Amino acid sequence: MVHGSKISRRQFLSLSGATLGGLVLTACTRTTGSQAVEKVTAEPAVRDANDALQRLQSGNLRYATNKTIDLNQTPRRRVEVARGQHPFATVLGCVDSRVPPELIFDRGLGDLFVIRTAGQVLDQAVLGSIEFGFMELGIHLIVVLGHENCGAVKATIEAVEKKLQVEGSVGYLVRSLTPAVEKAMQAEPAETGEEPDVPFDLVAETVDTNIRMIVDQLAASAEFSEAIVAGTLRIVGGRYDLDTGLVEFIA
């Protein structure tokens, strides 16, 4: 057995960049028929995290009001991004089939660096992927995107309330979401005998709590904390409404 030498994270990213450079060189020399592929006119480059967030908000409003313009979804765009990717935002979302980030933000190929797990659960692979997007691809906006009526949240609430021990990999999801459930439970108002103005919704409270906890966890990461202070990275939370199609960004 051959044992490879250890390399640092920076060295690994340098290797990945070199590999990408080779792919770019190949793509740039590709032709269609006898003609070279025509260069596509791109949008203006994203200036900063605030600009990136504004593009997501504008796209989501188009989606929710049925005014999508299907940005960057053409064959020409496919050819352009074959030469290299420059996504302007990372979206950590749920695997729920009703919440595809590219659609709800009216974006296209090469725009978003999307990572999806049930309930946006973080693990080492997810965290490493987010770090890769920031360090190698220069992404300066990270969005933690939850949604109403999350099935993973509902299942975890049931497991917590019934004190169920869930086995296997699904159990990992439940254990990861349990702290958000327990914290949300603490927010439930005490019984006063009076009907509250707004009924307490444990699922909704847990969804919001989970989003905030993940944002805080990412912001505390050594890889991100200095960049946040320096103003070169922004991490925000968002909650998607299944009925209206709107994303409410959470401070």
Task: Supply the mean pLDDT for the chain.
Answer: 86
- C-alpha angle 43-25-125 in degrees, rounded to nearest 5: 75
Beta-carbon contacts of 124 under 8 Å, excluding residues fewer than 6 positions away, are none
Residue whose tokens read 């939850």: 146
- C-alpha angle 179-220-169 in degrees, rounded to nearest 5: 40
pLDDT digits (tens, 9 = 90+) for 138-186: 999 999 999 999 999 999 999 999 999 999 999 999 999 999 999 999 9
- Asked whether residue 138 is assigned to any structural domain, the reply reads yes
CATH number for the domain harbouring residue 94: 3.40.1050.10
> In Å, how far are 28, 139, 162, 216 from 153, measured between CA atoms?
46, 29, 14, 19
Overall average pLDDT of the 62-67 stretch: 97
- Asked whether residue 26 is assigned to any structural domain, the reply reads no
Percent of the chain predicted with pLDDT > 90 = 73
Domain interval for residue 125: 38-189+198-250
C-alpha radius of gyration, the chain, whole number: 21
Task: DSSP for 119-180, please give it.
Answer: GG---HHHHHHHHHHHHTT---EEEEEEETT-HHHHHHHHHHHTT----HHHHHHHHHHHHH
- Asked whether residue 160 is assigned to any structural domain, the reply reads yes
- Asked whether residue 78 is assigned to any structural domain, the reply reads yes
User: Which residue has better confidence, 250 or 101?
Assistant: 101
- Asked whether residue 2 is assigned to any structural domain, the reply reads no
pLDDT digits (tens, 9 = 90+) for 178-235: 999 999 999 988 776 677 667 899 999 999 999 999 999 999 999 899 999 999 999 9
41: pLDDT confidence band, cut at 50, 70 and 90?
Answer: very low
6: pLDDT confidence band, cut at 50, 70 and 90?
Answer: low
* Residue 28 pLDDT > 60: no
* Residue 31 pLDDT > 80: no
Task: Output the pTM of the full model.
Answer: 0.82
Residue whose tokens read 């020409």: 76
CA distance 17 to 94: 29
- Asked whether residue 17 is assigned to any structural domain, the reply reads no
pLDDT of residue 22: 39
- Asked whether residue 118 is assigned to any structural domain, the reply reads yes
Which phi and psi (to 5°) does residue 236 adopt?
A: -130, 160
pLDDT of residue 193: 67
Number of domains within the chain: 1
- Asked whether residue 85 is assigned to any structural domain, the reply reads yes
